[in-house]
Amino acid sequence: MISTPIEEGYFKIKGDGQPVLLGSYSPSSGNTYYPIRKLCPVTSEPVETVELPIEGELYSWTFVRMASIGSQSKKEGGGHGVGQVDLPCGTRIQTAISGELGDWEIGMKMKLALLPVKQDGDTQLCSYCFEPIK
C-alpha cells in the first residue's frame, strides 16, 4: 500500500513513511509559518520553503462530537480530537489529534503522524494529525 498526501503542498511523506509538514521561513523576520506563504506577513519579503519539526507540545485541545473528515462512522458518542501543537521553531499548528477523549493533557509531547482518509486502489490517501508520544 502506497501512502500519498490527499493534497500536495501542505506536507510530504518521506521514503521511510514519516510525514513532514512544509512551511515557510522568513530570513528577514526570523519567523517560521505554516502553511507555506509567498511572502513574510511581517516584512513582505520573500520566504524559503522548509520542513518543519515533527515533534511539538500540545498547547490546547478540544473534542468535537461529530465524525472526522472522511469518516463514515455514525456511532453514537463518536467524535475526534482537535488541538494546537507548538513546534520548537515557534510555529503553532491547528491539527487533528489522534486518540480518545481523556487521552490528552496540555503540555504533553506530540508527534506528527499520517491520518488515512481514503483508499484508492493500492493508494492510501492521507492527511496528517499529531499523536501523543508514549
For 42-71, what is each residue's pLDDT tens digit? 999 999 999 999 999 999 999 998 765 555
Would you state the cell numbers that stand for residue 43, as one nine-digit string? 516584512
Average pLDDT over the chain reads 92
For 84-134, what is each residue's pLDDT tens digit? 999 999 999 999 999 998 899 999 999 999 999 999 899 999 999 999 998
Q: pTM above 0.85?
A: yes
Q: CB–CB of 81/62 below 8 Å? A: yes
pLDDT at 72: 54
Determine the number of helices (DSSP H) and then strands (DSSP E) in the chain.
0, 10
Give me the residue spans of the domains in the chain: 2-132
Side-chain half-sphere CA neighbours of 6 within 13 A:
13
